[in-house]
Structure 1
């Protein structure tokens, strides 16, 4: 009895230690987000007041009102939504077709293409910044939506193809064969059978792709010139003036810029977790 009691205490202490560690980690991760939120309501002059307070005198919605009444800042959000949604849609369409081909067919050069896809994913994006700038200028896509969308797809497609190929590999080939017996073509089997049951994998890849396109800063800064083409990350940076920073508006834009990704995780968390894990296991 004494030995069992000791083991139980050790297990309880171990569980308590894990929970304490998780809570401390969650608090450490959430603190900057919380401070960003409360700072967005403070007057700009009191952002760095000491001692720091959660609620300062004069706190208001002024920073948010200023953003929603500024057509230029609204344009930053419109640009980000348009580019991110376009990249996500196009990446999923191309990746689904490519992943289906890699998963279900044998063709010359398949292994080389697989290596090429993985190699592109392994290249640091910053090393391609200057080549992409020259390419977009040559193709007259500099400072255009098309230039940003095509550039982002170079970095989102390899991951999407790899993940969806792994996911399709977990699905039995009998599903395709049964659909073909009923007179459906290969593309019909893909869109009518495989895609509907691959929703978790597709959603997880879509969320990741949207996050990459929504948060990207370096290429958005390099490949755009005018404010009417800038995205939210660049819009936040533009609030850093030569002599003063609009800290409260920067925090407010950061909060507004975080909302789409947070909502995606809230509503699609189940699919995201299932999709990320399913593609790593092969039946």
Structure 2
């Protein structure tokens, strides 16, 4: 059977590969297509036409109607999510390097401490944040940070710095240990080794983790719902949900709002997608965590 596959014309094999890729791309684009064409319909047309059929008389009025409500939350999310995700991922990278060095030290105590602390971080990563919202909200309120950028940033750091450390530990261990050992023999400081050697070599993994943190933070609904009390401080997921009313829903505006809300993470993923793939390739070279 394998010999028959090997004798397939290379042109045919390439065509099959391209066809498979096109099919997956089409499937991936269906939700975006549905949001766009239904956002260009009237509310009556959304009810009366199939979801994947374009309107015979498209209109941009739903997008115009939702933009006034989304512009401020969109700005809030941009101000908060991008720097928070970057800092959380960078600090997580430093933590992953720290645990990697402890686990590879000659001291059994250091190795035990590293494994124990890293296990706690891993456990914290998989705890559903919905289960901690009440104590988290009380903590933020006691700190006087409720309904502020700082309170939201602090809450996001709590959840996504451990995620950055966990994911980056996988990528950092894909770096050959002899390179780090050589740098330590040259008496390089930990910060110098990390900033000049480890971080550049793990950059594809860093970008993959950053993309993951951006998307997770951008789409987080419960944390901004609990920690913001005024419309001026709302983030984009809470505002999009508000278009679904208790008694009636304007589905065309809901589709338009969902598309606008997804443009930033979608654009980031498309722009940095090649680095994301490089990070996955680096992941497959043998990194197994600390």
TM bin, normalised by shorter chain, reads 0.7 to 0.9
Q: 1:64 & 1:51 partners in 2: Cα distance? A: 20
What residue is the counterpart of 2:211 in the other structure? 207
What residue is the counterpart of 1:12 in the other structure? none
- Indicate yes or no: 2:140 matched with 1:143: no
Give, in angstroms, the shift of residue 79 of structure 1.
1.0
Give, in angstroms, the shift of residue 179 of structure 1.
4.0
- Secondary structure, counterpart of 1:258 in structure 2: helix
What residue is the counterpart of 2:80 in the other structure? 83
Give, in angstroms, the shift of residue 229 of structure 1.
0.8
Q: 1:230 to 1:52 in 2, by over 3 A?
A: closer
Give, in angstroms, the shift of residue 50 of structure 1.
4.4
Q: 1:48 to 1:172 in 2, by over 3 A?
A: same
- Secondary structure, counterpart of 1:225 in structure 2: coil
Q: 2:267 & 2:50 partners in 1: Cα distance? A: 33
1:144–1:224: 8 Å Cα contact kept in structure 2? Answer: yes
Alignment of 1:171-210 (within 5 A): 171-180=175-184, 184-210=188-214
Q: 1:48 to 1:94 in 2, by over 3 A?
A: same
Give, in angstroms, the shift of residue 55 of structure 1.
3.0
- More moved, 181-190 vs 216-225: 181-190
What residue is the counterpart of 2:43 in the other structure? 44
1:27-54 CA-to-partner distances (Å, cap 9, x unmatched) read 5554333222100111123211146673
Give, in angstroms, the shift of residue 247 of structure 1.
2.1
- Secondary structure, counterpart of 2:223 in structure 1: helix
Give, in angstroms, the shift of residue 139 of structure 1.
1.4
1:167–1:201: 8 Å Cα contact kept in structure 2? Answer: yes
1:176–1:186: 8 Å Cα contact kept in structure 2? Answer: no
Q: 1:256 & 1:228 partners in 2: Cα distance? A: 18
Alignment of 1:7-22 (within 5 A): none
What residue is the counterpart of 1:13 in the other structure? none
1:16-35 CA-to-partner distances (Å, cap 9, x unmatched) read 99999987776555433322
1:219 to 220, 223, 229: 223
What residue is the counterpart of 1:31 in the other structure? 30
Q: 1:17 to 1:6 in 2, by over 3 A?
A: closer
- More moved, 223-232 vs 269-278: 269-278
Give, in angstroms, the shift of residue 240 of structure 1.
2.6
Structure 2 runs not aligned, ≥5 long: 9-14
Q: 1:161 to 1:115 in 2, by over 3 A?
A: same
- Secondary structure, counterpart of 2:54 in structure 1: coil
Q: 1:183 to 1:23 in 2, by over 3 A?
A: closer
What residue is the counterpart of 2:241 in the other structure? 237
1:87–1:209: 8 Å Cα contact kept in structure 2? Answer: no
- Secondary structure, counterpart of 2:48 in structure 1: coil
What residue is the counterpart of 1:273 in the other structure? 277
1:86–1:149: 8 Å Cα contact kept in structure 2? Answer: no
Q: 1:51 & 1:159 partners in 2: Cα distance? A: 40
1:129–1:219: 8 Å Cα contact kept in structure 2? Answer: yes
Q: 1:53 & 1:114 partners in 2: Cα distance? A: 47
Give, in angstroms, the shift of residue 88 of structure 1.
1.0
Report the RMSD for the aligned CA atoms in angstroms.
Answer: 3.1
- Indicate yes or no: 2:96 matched with 1:99: yes
